[in-house]
Amino acid sequence: MLGAGVVDLMELGGTNHQNLREKTARELLWTSHRTFQGWTCSQCEWNYPVPELLTDADAKTAFDRLAASKFKDHKCSEHAARLGPALDEGFSSKIRKLILQGFKPKDAVELMLQDVALEYRGQPKVLEQAKAEAEDFLRRMRAGVI
């Protein structure tokens, strides 16, 4: 996760415990949904959407680093509090659930693609989107971002 949620304790000096908890409890989350794709904060409504025309893998990696930097600099108190867990019903969340069940990432991607192929028969655009998201998920895993 590019160290986005890690705060050097020496850097906090004499700050209060509330400030320490705020800076260390939040996480940078990759969120992929039908209406949004990008980075979000686990504690507030801060987000950093991926530009629609961003397709090059190196550019996406640079975007991830920039998002991590912006995440580190944001203040949760300046954004609305997140009322519940981030809504993530996209293909990436299906892959994450399979990984949590013990599947290897590549196997989880393959299972998700098979599921999408069955569920969305006759909708090649949905399958194409799922494949693109799966490739991006694996790229981020290899890069250590998620």
2 in any annotated domain = no
pLDDT tops 70 at residue 13: no
Q: Report pTM.
A: 0.48
**86 is a domain residue:** no
Q: Are residues 74 and 98 both part of a single domain?
A: no
Higher pLDDT, 13 or 57: 57
Secondary structure of residue 41 in the 3-state scheme: strand
Q: Mark whether 95 and 69 lie in a shared domain.
A: no
Q: What residue numbers bound the domain in which 104 lies? A: 91-143
Residue 45 and residue 70 in one domain: yes
**Ramachandran sector of residue 87 (left: φ over 0; alpha: ψ -120 to 50; beta: rest):** beta
- Considering the domain architecture, whether residues 13 and 74 belong to the same structural domain is answered as yes
Top pLDDT among 13 and 134 is at 134
Residue 3 lies in a domain: no
Tell me, yes or no, whether 97 and 129 share the same domain: yes
Same domain, 74 and 114: no
pLDDT band at 70 (very low <50, low <70, confident <90, very high): very high
Same domain, 19 and 48: yes
From the number of C-beta atoms within 10 Å of its C-beta (0-12, 13-18, 19+), residue 4 rates as buried
Write down the pLDDT at residue 25: 76
Q: Tell me: do 44 and 102 sit in the same domain.
A: no
What is the number of domains present in the chain? 2
Binned at pLDDT 50, 70 and 90, residue 84 comes out as low
Last residue of a domain, one of 25, 55, 78: 78
109/119 Cα distance (integer angstroms): 15
Degrees, nearest 5: CA angle 71-83-26: 30
Question: What pLDDT digit, counting tens, does each position of 24-35 carry?
Answer: 578 888 887 777
Q: With bands split at pLDDT 50, 70 and 90, how would you rate the model's confidence at 104?
A: very high
Domain boundary pick from 30, 57, 78? 78
Report helix, strand or coil for 14.
coil
CB 42, CB 82: distance < 8 Å? yes
Q: What is the mean pLDDT of residues 101-119?
A: 92
Q: Judge whether 33 lies within some domain.
A: yes
For residues 12 and 33, give the distance between their C-alpha atoms in angstroms, rounded to a whole number. Answer: 35
Is residue 107 in a domain? yes
Query: What is the pLDDT at residue 112?
Result: 93
Are 12 and 19 in contact by the 8 Å Cβ rule? The answer is yes
